Amino acid sequence: MRLKDKVAVITGASSGIGREAALLFAQEGAKIVAADVNDAEGEKTAAQINEANGKAVFVHADVSKSRDCENMIYTAEEIFGKLDILFNNAGIMHSEDDDAVSTEDDVWDLTMNVNLKGVFLGCKYGIPALRRAGGGSIINTASFVAIVGAATPQLAYTTSKGGVLAMTRELSVIHARENIRVNALCPGPLQTELLMKFLDTEEKKQRRLVHVPMGRFGKAKEMADAALFLASEESSYVTGTTFTVDGGLTAAYVTPE
């Protein structure tokens, strides 16, 4: 088992990448704190793990709230004794997110609070716990749009994910000698409820897919597999990376400097 005796906090664990990662990490031996604002689906994730003879608890957490983030880390240490892996995965893509002219202040603020501040708060409370455990792995979910921009306007989302990349790089440098690794997972376009709600017409879907060399949307399970590598000791010399899992999209558009 690649995560035997590890303890992981995973935000956004009620669906998509978060749920797939929680199930996979548990299969690989980790004890899971599944955190989300969606209590019913978050409880379902934890139940699936426990029914498969794994160990998991659900904790309600709005990652934009300091008290909730502090509590999810407290829960990991209180119930499972430590924290080894922090997967800051929770995020939103608002249906009214658009370009600079059309995006309203409240849409911008909500997106930043969840996607960017939520990662900051996870790290704020998670890093001291990782120190107490002697080190560990932080995985922050960013996005390919932070590297190349989005063909369909979603400025608040794109900007928030760019911030996640910058935060990840700085944290990786600051904490490298504490045996704390910090990496950004950058998914390409995925066949998830989050993205499909945003790309709500066939035209929008094709506008995104035309840029993907593999010609298909990725799967949440494929992102969970990538996160497993970053969580495990197999990536023990990997920190500060923009770990892109995107069907070749950025390779087709990004020129090395």
Query: Smallest Cα–Cα separation from 80: which of 129, 37, 136?
Result: 129
Render 130-193 in DSSP notation, one character per residue: HHHTT-EEEEEE--THHHH--SS--HHHHHHHHHHHHHHHHHHHHHGGGTEEEEEEEE-SBSSH
185 — phi, psi (to 5°)? Answer: -90, 125
Distance of alpha carbon 235 from alpha carbon 74, whole angstroms: 26
In the chain, how many H helices and how many E strands?
11, 7
Question: Could you tell me which of 99, 120, 104 has the C-alpha nearest to residue 11?
Answer: 120
Is 253 a residue of the active site?
no
Burial 135-158 (b: 16+ CB within 10 A, else e): ebbbbbbbbbbbbbebeebbbbbb
- DSSP-derived letter for residue 210 is T
Helix H segments across 16-104?
16-27, 39-51, 66-80
Active-site choice (74, 125, 157, 253): 157
Task: Label residue 86 exposed, middle or buried (CB < 10 Å: 0-12, 13-18, 19+).
Answer: buried
Active site residue ranges? 157
